[in-house]
Amino acid sequence: MDNTIPICANCRKPCVGGYYTYSWKTDIWKRELIFCSDCHTKPHCKICGSRKDVAPLRDGRMYCGMCRWNGVYTIDQGRSYLVAAQKMLSERFEFPIDPTLIIKILPSEIFYQNSKERKALGYYYGNKFYNDWHFILTGDNRTLYVWQEDAVKDEIHILDGLPYPVFFNVVAHELSHSYLRRHFGAFPSKKLEEGFCEAIAAACSAFNGNPEVTECLHFLNLDPVYGDGFRMIYDMLLKQGWKAVMAYLQKNSQTKEEYVWANIYNWMSDEMAEKIRQSPVKPQLKFEKYPG
């Protein structure tokens, strides 16, 4: 029997009063770290939970030394991982590659101004899909022309400082949102949409040699939308394959027309919305730019 007293990974002192072990299965760096009872109570890394060499970033986020040293802080770094993720998604899942897609690495004070979720690490912004709708109603109220301008390119916004294994995972997740927007109408269920993106990101992390990221960020995620959605789609992907997942998404997505009618009054002027509501005839949607 080995009676050797383990050494704390942080203070390097013997753990004489008990210790806590962090397994590689829950650590993105594949480590098995041991911390003494005192160090265990100290601030932990926001990303991996380690107590080793923990210090704040300029915005106050607490990162361990490993996560700080391996963070993605510049556009050049981010672009290289974007290209790698696009290549993998193209080869593994036949995602189209968009060389014009913009990636932005944003400080937390700017990132969280735009992101709707305080826990988000990245988000996909496609202006042509979200809020740049144009409407022209014909004089007889029978035809409503609906189109979108493509002047603004799609963008992926990522929180700065993410360690590269997490950064790659987040990029794959956001690229999956881009794929869904281009190939399906919309999803009434956020669990389905986010579950798909999480499942693809998890698969990409595993393909990229980081299964521990899949374990930490996805399998251990108990969130009813992201976690449960991931397990539903990932299990389907493993057991039934890609075509089954695509068929399931198609069956449970809205058509473009359904999507527009569900949101149309929030996108157009109050005057036009009221005119359509008062009309005895519901106008037919025509998805093209008004010819006049």
Quick: pLDDT tens for 107-139: 999 998 888 777 888 887 764 444 467 899 998
Q: Which of 51-65, 84-98, 251-265 has the lowest mean pLDDT?
A: 251-265
Rounded Cα distance, 55 and 147, in Å: 50
Q: Look at residue 129 in the predicted model and tell me its pLDDT.
A: 43
190 C-beta neighbours (distance < 10 Å), count:
11
Rounded Cα distance, 282 and 141, in Å: 8
242 C-beta neighbours (distance < 10 Å), count:
12
Stretch 239-252: mean pLDDT:
96
State yes or no: pLDDT of 149 exceeds 90.
no
100 C-beta neighbours (distance < 10 Å), count:
6
For residue 26, what pLDDT band results from cuts at 50, 70 and 90?
low
193 C-beta neighbours (distance < 10 Å), count:
23
Q: Look at residue 153 in the predicted model and tell me its pLDDT.
A: 67
91: Cβ–Cβ under 8 A, 6 or more apart, which residues?
Answer: none
Rounded Cα distance, 249 and 184, in Å: 8
Most confident of 13-27, 145-159, 262-276: 262-276
The pLDDT tens digits for 179-210 are 998 888 788 889 999 999 999 999 999 999 99
Q: What angle do CA 166, 168, 171 make, to 5 degrees?
A: 110
Q: Name the maximum alpha-carbon separation found in the chain.
A: 89
Stretch 57-83: mean pLDDT:
95
Rounded Cα distance, 136 and 149, in Å: 14
Percent of the chain with pLDDT over 70: 94
Rounded Cα distance, 71 and 81, in Å: 12
Q: 265 phi and psi, to 5 degrees?
A: -70, -15
**Which tokens belong to 76?**
């050049």
For residue 1, what pLDDT band results from cuts at 50, 70 and 90?
very low
For residue 25, what pLDDT band results from cuts at 50, 70 and 90?
low
Element (H, E) at 289: none
Rounded Cα distance, 47 and 32, in Å: 16
Helix (H, G, I), strand (E, B) or coil at 216: helix
The pLDDT tens digits for 260-276 are 888 888 888 899 999 99
Any idea where the domains of the chain sit in the sequence? 19-69, 71-251
How does strand 102-106 pair with strand 155-159?
A: parallel
The pLDDT tens digits for 47-60 are 988 888 999 999 99
Q: Look at residue 123 in the predicted model and tell me its pLDDT.
A: 86
Query: Which of residues 15 and 291 earns the better pLDDT score?
Result: 15
Q: Look at residue 128 in the predicted model and tell me its pLDDT.
A: 41
Q: Look at residue 127 in the predicted model and tell me its pLDDT.
A: 47
